[in-house]
Amino acid sequence: MLLEKTTRMNFLFDFYQALLTDKQRSYMQLYYLDDHSLGEIAESYDVSRQAVYDNIRRTETMLEEYEEKLQLFEKFQKRQQILAKLTESVTNVPSDKADQLALIEQLKQCD
């Protein structure tokens, strides 16, 4: 569960980091990407560990709200699944062109 949350937050951060403040972006990068502890981040910014924790939790909530509204990560995942199926279809011999065209249509509809 923890690894799944970390992976999800990393993806959401990639998609929506431009919508965050500099401080939010910095805390999230240090915590999720650079694997710093709350204490290390607090020490770097001369704030309490609780302040860092609160900021990160609020930012996680914001990222989830952005995803709920914009669905960039969900669309990305869907495209990746379709591309995997298409790649598999193209590499299989004999391949069914109708299946490939259907997958291409699904890709077009993702956006």
Whole-angstrom distance, CA of residue 96 vs CA of residue 85: 12
Per domain, the residue ranges of the chain are 2-70, 74-109
Which helix (H) or strand (E) segment is 28 a member of? helix 22-28
Instruction: For domain 2-70, give its CATH number from 3.90.1150.10, 3.90.700.10, 3.40.50.300, 1.10.10.10.
Output: 1.10.10.10
pLDDT digits (tens, 9 = 90+) for 82-101: 888 888 877 776 667 777 77
Name the more confident of 111 and 99.
99
Query: What does each C-alpha distance from 30 to 24, 25, 42, 93 come to in angstroms?
Result: 10, 9, 11, 47
Per-residue tokens: 91: 């590499």
Average pLDDT (54-81) is 96
Q: What is the pTM of this model?
A: 0.81
